[in-house]
Amino acid sequence: MQARVIMLVDFDYFFAQCEELRNPALKDKPVVVGVYSGRTEDSGAVSTANYVARKFGVKSGIPLYLAKRRLEGTEAVFLPVDYEFYEQISDKIMHALRGYADSFEQVGIDEAYLDVTQKIQGSFEAASDLAKKMKNEVKNQLGITFSVGVGPNKLVAKTAADSQKPDGLTLVKPEEAERFLSPLPVDRLVGVGRKTAAKMGELGIKTIGDLARYNVQRLMELFGKNLGVYFHNAANGTDNEPVQEAGEAESISRIATLKVNTRDLEVILEKASQLSEEIHRELAQKGLSFKQVGIIAILTDLSSKSRSQTAEKPAKDLETIKKAARELFEKFLGESELEVRRVGVRVSQFSKEEREQKKLTSFFGN
């Protein structure tokens, strides 16, 4: 079997970088994005911070009041999480990256694995060029930087990406994997959390190399068979997990609350159109066509009603979704008397287009 070439792409200080993107004046200032719990003005936690703020010891997870204190006297800017905006940017980047991979696996909002073995015919030199090309393209077209790790498997790629941030590019060839992992603290290994690291520390296991050399039988006794074997293999740089598309959804839907309860078709359709656009964007990203369009109406008594219609042939355009939603809501309002409180749109019965149609060029071309 040909050796694999796997990349892990991890967007830099992602939420904060998105905020800098829409407001470049933030770039030189400490930027903190947080979840405000709302009890008092400063209660809540930091989601992420840009690297300027990190110099002051501000990082994900610390309380906002502490971040404020650490940034006292600076021009720090504090912003609430705007997940929808970050997701839109993430979708665009993911769409662009997908075109570079033989197979693609998104992990969360800001990470993705790419298997590029075929694309670069197994050569690590070519992988480095490809990674640079990806970085340039996304930076120039979308204004976002990310860090890339390249390795013979997911585990090494991920650890490589973590070792150089932001805007990093770290290559670990198969024959270098052991030497790369060995000196790292054991908690850098995927799956070794704080507690496990502490337990390992007591056993004299401080580095990944220590773990690699530890008796596997003993690891199985201490951590259970599965975990013991995993730790042993992982520490030795072995990982056969494939890069896999996340299980395809049965349907894609969006639902939203109206500003006021209403039976006004145009008001309902305005919201439905927005939702249809979001759904359409996701369909395009995933390269899916659909046959069925449905609507959901949640009424003032909180009952939920749905209607759907199915076409003969698959479609993938926005107009088809909007037109079906219009017809379905029109008909629905004729049948119901209560006002509508929330509206939803759903598409289902998917078929997949040819992957080749979603090349990067077509994405950047519009």
> For residues 345 and 218, what is the distance between their CA atoms, to the nearest angstrom?
54
> For residues 41 and 280, what is the distance between their CA atoms, to the nearest angstrom?
38
320 binds, among ligand TTP, Ca ion, none (CB under 5 to 8 A by kind): none
Q: Going by DSSP bridges, is the β-strand pair 77-80/31-36 parallel, antiparallel, or unpaired?
A: parallel
DSSP-based helix, strand, coil % in the chain, nearest 5: 45, 25, 30
Torsions phi, psi for 39 (to 5 deg):
-70, -55
Q: Does 91 bind ligand TTP (CB under 6 A)?
A: no
Among residues 8, 48, 58, 186, the one that binds ligand TTP under rule CB under 6 A: 48
* CB 65, min distance to ligand TTP, A: 17
* CB 337, min distance to ligand TTP, A: 43
> For residues 130 and 65, what is the distance between their CA atoms, to the nearest angstrom?
43
Task: Say how many CA atoms lie within 13 Å of 84 toward its Cβ.
Answer: 4
Q: Which is nearer to ligand TTP, 12 or 115 (CB)?
A: 12
276 binds, among Ca ion, ligand TTP, none (CB under 5 to 8 A by kind): none
47 binds, among ligand TTP, Ca ion, none (CB under 5 to 8 A by kind): ligand TTP
Residues 92-151 that bind ligand TTP (CB under 6 A): 110
Among residues 6, 9, 13, 177, the one that binds ligand TTP under rule CB under 6 A: 13
**Bridge partner residues of 257 (DSSP):** 342
Q: How is residue 325 annotated by DSSP?
A: H
The length of the chain in residues reads: 366
Q: How is residue 85 annotated by DSSP?
A: H
Query: Taking phi first (over 0 means left), then psi (-120 to 50 degrees means alpha), and beta for anything else, what does residue 249 get?
Result: beta
Q: Does 10 bind ligand TTP (CB under 6 A)?
A: yes
Respond yes or no: is residue 75 known to be catalytic: no
* CB 317, min distance to Ca ion, A: 34
Per CB under 6 A, which region of 7-15, 257-265, 282-290, 349-357 contacts ligand TTP? 7-15
Q: Which is nearer to ligand TTP, 60 or 274 (CB)?
A: 60
All residues at 6 or more sequence positions from 244 whose CB lies less than 8 Å from its CB, including other chains? 103, 105
Residues 159-178 that bind ligand TTP (CB under 6 A): 165-166
Q: Which is nearer to ligand TTP, 192 or 272 (CB)?
A: 192
Largest pairwise CA distance in the chain = 73
Q: Which residues bind Ca ion (CB under 5 A)?
A: 10-11, 14, 110
Q: Helix count (H) and strand count (E) of the chain?
A: 14, 12
Residues 28-47 that bind ligand TTP (CB under 6 A): 47
Q: Does 19 bind ligand TTP (CB under 6 A)?
A: no
* CB 81, min distance to ligand TTP, A: 7
Q: Catalytic one among 19, 20, 105, 111?
A: 111
Q: Does 236 bind ligand TTP (CB under 6 A)?
A: no
* CB 17, min distance to Ca ion, A: 9
Task: Say how many CA atoms lie within 13 Å of 151 toward its Cβ.
Answer: 30
Q: Are the CB atoms for 11 and 90 separated by under 8 Å?
A: yes
Residues acting as catalytic residues: 111
Q: Kindly list the residues in this chain that would bind ligand TTP in the complex (CB under 6 A).
A: 10-15, 47-48, 60-61, 110, 165-166
